[in-house]
Amino acid sequence: MPFIGNLQQLGRAIMLPMIILPAAAVFQSLAQLPWQHLGLPQMEVYLQLAAAAIFQFLPYIFALGIALGLTSNGLGAGMAALVGMFIYSGITAHYAPGTEPTVLIGTFIGIVAGISHLRFKDLRLPEYIQFFGGPRFVPLFVSFFTLIFSMFIVNLSEQLEWLLIELGEVVSLAGGFGVFLYGFVHRILVIFGLHHLVSHLFWFQVGGYETEAGYMVYGDLPRFFAGDPTAGSFMAGLYPTMMFALPAIALAIIHEAREDLKPQIRRTFTLAALSSFLTGVTEPVEFAFLFVAPYLYVVHALLSGLIMWLTNELGILHGFSFSAGAIDYIINMHLATNGWLIIPIGIVTGVVYYFLFRWAIRRFQIPTPGREEGSQLDEWVGDIPYRAPLILQAIGGKKNIVQMESCITRLRLKVHSEKDMDVNALRNLGAAGVIRLGGGHVQVVFGTYSELIREEMLKTIHRDQQQVSFHSPMQGRMIPLAEVPDPIFSGQLVGNGVAFIPDRGELVSPVRGKVIHIYPTMHAIGLLTEEGLEVLLHIGIDTSKLVGKDYFTAVVKEGEQVEPGQLLIRFNLQKVKKDSKSLATPMVITNSDRVKAWRFAPFMAVKKGQSSIMSVVLEESKSEGEVR
């Protein structure tokens, strides 16, 4: 499984250079405007040259992007990749003039540069030549490697060019079935974040086409934008799925949600549907049912393959620079063949998906979001600075992170211990799913907010602040303190914090600390954290009058040290509910003046001991630089 983790890192790296492709598509589309009538006759040529330049230098872009992606923006690796490409181009242009650098070559040299950086960045040489050690050794090594590699390619240039063209012909022999198989595998690999690897083969390697300028381009995507009339079969069939099928699933999930949850689910999944329709980002919808109904996801993958087969049989050719969303559909329509057929096919696809998923959700009682136990998806972009520290805690803290990257829809992590991650907390904090690839490689799917989350987490890691994180003291539902039916607590006269409505009669410690007070009736307990915060846990409202062991039983003593999740008090849930004003259980910090900033997780269902439900940043003494 560590091998899978390394592949997903490569898949993320491959996405980095692809972010430049939409610019080329936009340039080509804008070139179609009547610039001569606007008094700018040269603008069309400028735009066409700009788009052509991006595709011409695509191998260099891939080499640089993959090297940076594999090394978390290691500048030495990026420099080595570019130098390697220059060496390769110079040698092959002289000895094999017909050999053009391909994306495959750029990818290979980028991988070599990235791996070399990881291997040699800490290299120690004898002191008198240590100048060439460490990161400075990487460009030197890659230069010599590329020199030998280029000599090898020169001697095999004709055979390799023939092989790439033959590969395209072999794939084309598979016809519609080959396109179906690609569509099915593509959707399955989305689960693991590896779909970029199979796409890279078909989009940038399969088939060759000689442009009007006389140079060869390879792969479905560059050939499509270069004007190849046979390119686009491995992209066109994705449009009906992304523009119509996934939004239809989102609509089915909205309509099958409980009435009381429909407003929130409607907001969340309307945005997810628009994201898929406009930009082709599908994970927020797909991960809403992947984990609760994996068999349904397999059906979805099969249908996606069949749709691609159908578009291929109808002779539909279309392409995209980023993904198969409406924006790319419109921008690149001028290069498509029978592209208009995608709309009626997409409408039929959407109808089929909508009724299929509504039937499946009801028939098999699938707990999609908005139903009894649905996974959580939330719209919370404004809360990212506040939730990022909680997400960091749920991952296991900064000490658990070996490496943290992000792509369009997910955090890609390597952690020391997967056991230290709180998956339930991550789901409550907005994660659509958590995928374990083995070897400490983990993906947390947050949708298109992933990069923003990573940036905020890095800020949290680098800040020199003292923080205290809280676990849930009971199983039930977390509510704002303002909803507690007691003016003393709701008015924050005792202190600030949160409250809980329990559904089990157990109170556990939310922090590491010491028991400093247990009330005689045992309905409340006070804790002192290692940082000096005084935490009050008060079970129910107006429960101080409930005397007797039939109500509350403390299992710890004053002065005892406790850990997060350790049982403090057992209580008879039904009797307390019957004989008290409310089961609302506040958890407040009574010396709140020592808190500089508060961060709360979403107010929803929580499990006993669940991490990352609240965190606080402590004030620091200006005179001594110590926590007061």
Beta bridge partners of 317: 337
Which residue in the list 142, 188, 288, 407 is annotated as catalytic?
A: 407
CA–CA separation, 427 and 354 (whole Å): 26
Tokens of 88: 């390769």
What is the full DSSP assignment across 10-30?
Answer: HHHHHHHHHTTHHHHHHHHHH
H or E element that contains 514? strand 513-518
CA distances from 127 to 116, 548, 586, 591 (A): 21, 76, 63, 56
Radius of gyration of the chain (CA): 29
CA–CA separation, 461 and 152 (whole Å): 46
Beta bridge partners of 572: none
Q: Spell out the alpha helix ranges (H) of 229-370.
A: 233-236, 238-240, 246-255, 262-279, 283-290, 294-313, 326-331, 342-363
Instruction: Determine the 3-state secondary structure of 446 from DSSP.
Output: coil
What contacts 431, CB < 8 A, 6 or more positions away? 376, 444, 445, 446
Exposed, middle or buried, 122 (CB in 10 Å: 0-12/13-18/19+)?
A: exposed
Do residues 345 and 353 touch, judged by C-beta distance below 8 A? no
CA–CA separation, 40 and 47 (whole Å): 12
Active site residue 371: no
Question: Please, which contacts does 94-100 make with residues 24 or more away whose CB atoms are closer than 8 Å?
Answer: 95/154, 96/153, 96/154, 96/157, 98/157, 98/161, 99/153, 99/154, 99/157, 99/161, 100/215, 100/216
What contacts 337, CB < 8 A, 6 or more positions away? 229, 232, 315, 316, 317, 318
CA distances from 232 to 123, 158, 223, 337, 628 (A): 46, 26, 8, 9, 65
Q: Spell out the alpha helix ranges (H) of 174-261.
A: 175-190, 195-204, 220-226, 233-236, 238-240, 246-255
Instruction: Determine the 3-state secondary structure of 374 from DSSP.
Output: coil
Q: What is the DSSP letter of 447?
A: G
Beta bridge partners of 525: 518, 537
H or E element that contains 344? helix 342-363
CA neighbor of 592 nearest in space, from 619, 625, 624, 562: 619
Length of the chain: 628
CA neighbor of 563 nearest in space, from 514, 610, 495, 604: 514
> Which residue in this structure is represented by tokens 């978390």?
72
Q: What is the largest CA-CA distance in the chain?
A: 94
Do residues 422 and 471 touch, judged by C-beta distance below 8 A? no
**Which residues are the active-site residues?**
407
